[in-house]
Each structure stands twice: as structure tokens, then as C-alpha cells.
Chain A
Amino acid sequence: NAGVTQTPKFQVLKTGQSMTLQCAQDMNHEYMSWYRQDPGMGLRLIHYSVGAGITDQGEVPNGYNVSRSTTEDFPLRLLSAAPSQTSVYFCASSYSRVAGGSSTDTQYFGPGTRLTVL
């Protein structure tokens, strides 16, 4: 299994440009999430999904859109990039349930996309 894959690895945008960060997982996980990581900080949740067709906002959703048409893919769209969106973006997935109980929330992370907005 490839696990969680993210493309591109690096991206430079100009203010106002749009782009989509791709995320895919081959573990048949129902839950998927996008986080951003800024220097000196932990990860902050942008958007998450509990299954195909179901998404919701996390802690820092402004400026980002998501959709989930398949179990495998969870793209993150920046509609009009701003310098404040310069960050490292991580996609993660997890099981919705484990044997004998509900989700443990254990996340499997992709390698990240380093985005710079000029």
C-alpha cells in the first residue's frame, strides 16, 4: 500500500492565484483531514471528512474549500491565495471504527506539501 500520498511536494503561488492540493489514500479509511503547520506551532485542522460526500470545517477553514466525491480522494482548494496561507499542508486519514469500539482517531499522515505564497 502507498498509504497517504500528496501532490505536489512544493508549490509557489502569487497572491490571488488558485490551486488544488491533492490527497489520496489506499487504505479504505473513511475519515480524512487537512491540517496546516506553521513554524513553532503544531498542526491546525482546516477541514475534515467522515465519508464520501460529507465534509465539515475545522479550526482554520477560511480561504479553503474541500469536497469528497470518493473514499480515496480529498482535495484541498485555495480559491485566492494569500501570503498568510504560506505553510506546510498535511493530509491525514483514519479508520472510522476499530474492533470493539469507535474510531481511535489514529491518523496516518502524508508527506506534506510546502506552499509559499508571494
Chain B
Amino acid sequence: SQQGEEDPQALSIQEGENATMNCSYKTSINNLQWYRQNSGRGLVHLILIRSNEREKHSGRLRVTLDTSKKSSSLLITASRAADTASYFCATGTGWGKLQFGAGTQVVVTP
């Protein structure tokens, strides 16, 4: 079974708008990560937040983590057409293994 569940499954926005996607997980974690996958490509690491952190920023990305609710959100501000991709959350336990959610497919139209 998958650890993470993402919401929404698909998101369509216009350039310049913000995109928000959520992830819920089931068990205790060491960290939570977000990855991007462009069509037909491998996954690229975007940002990691540790279990003792509540918020983290990286460029146009903002991640929050609420361990009491076992949930995380990823915000992409001022989206661009190049942000069109699938976004996955993944939880880690510190042994090089990740459990992934099913992903959110984001389409940004010019």
C-alpha cells in the first residue's frame, strides 16, 4: 500500500497563478520530500522537510509539514508553463527508502 495520498489528482492553472497540492501519510516519518516528474522522465528532487520542521522555502516553492495531522502541502508561487509536470510526495525513514504518493498532475497554461 502507498504511504502518501495526494490531493488533488490533477490541477490546471494559468501562468502567474499559485498552485497548491497536499499530501497525507500514514506512519511516522524521518522526513518528507517532494519530487517533480516531467512526462516520460525520471524524478527530480525538489525539496525536503524534516519531521522536526514546520515550513521550508526554496525559490518559488514553499513546503509545510504538520506531523500531528500527518500532512504536508507544496505551494508553487507565480507558476510558469515550465512547471507543467507531475508532483509526488515521498516519505523517508532514513535508510535510503522512500514511499511515494500517487502524484498530482499540474498543467500550467500560458
Contact = CB atoms under 8 A, between A and B. Distances in A.
Interface of A: 4, 30-33, 35, 40-45, 48, 50, 58-59, 90, 92, 94, 96, 102-112
Interface string B82-110: 00000010101111111111110000000
A109 B43 contact: yes
B48 A42 contact: no
B41 A102 contact: no
Interface of B: 2, 4, 30-31, 33, 35, 40-45, 48, 88, 90, 92-103
Contacts of B40: 112
B95 A50 contact: yes
Contacts of A31: 95-96
Instruction: Point out which of B88, B98, B103 has the most chain A C-beta atoms below 10 A from its C-beta.
Output: B98
A42 B103 CA distance: 6
14 contacts: A4-B42, A33-B98, A42-B2, A42-B102, A43-B88, A48-B96, A50-B96, A94-B96, A103-B92, A103-B96, A105-B30, A105-B92, A105-B97, A106-B33
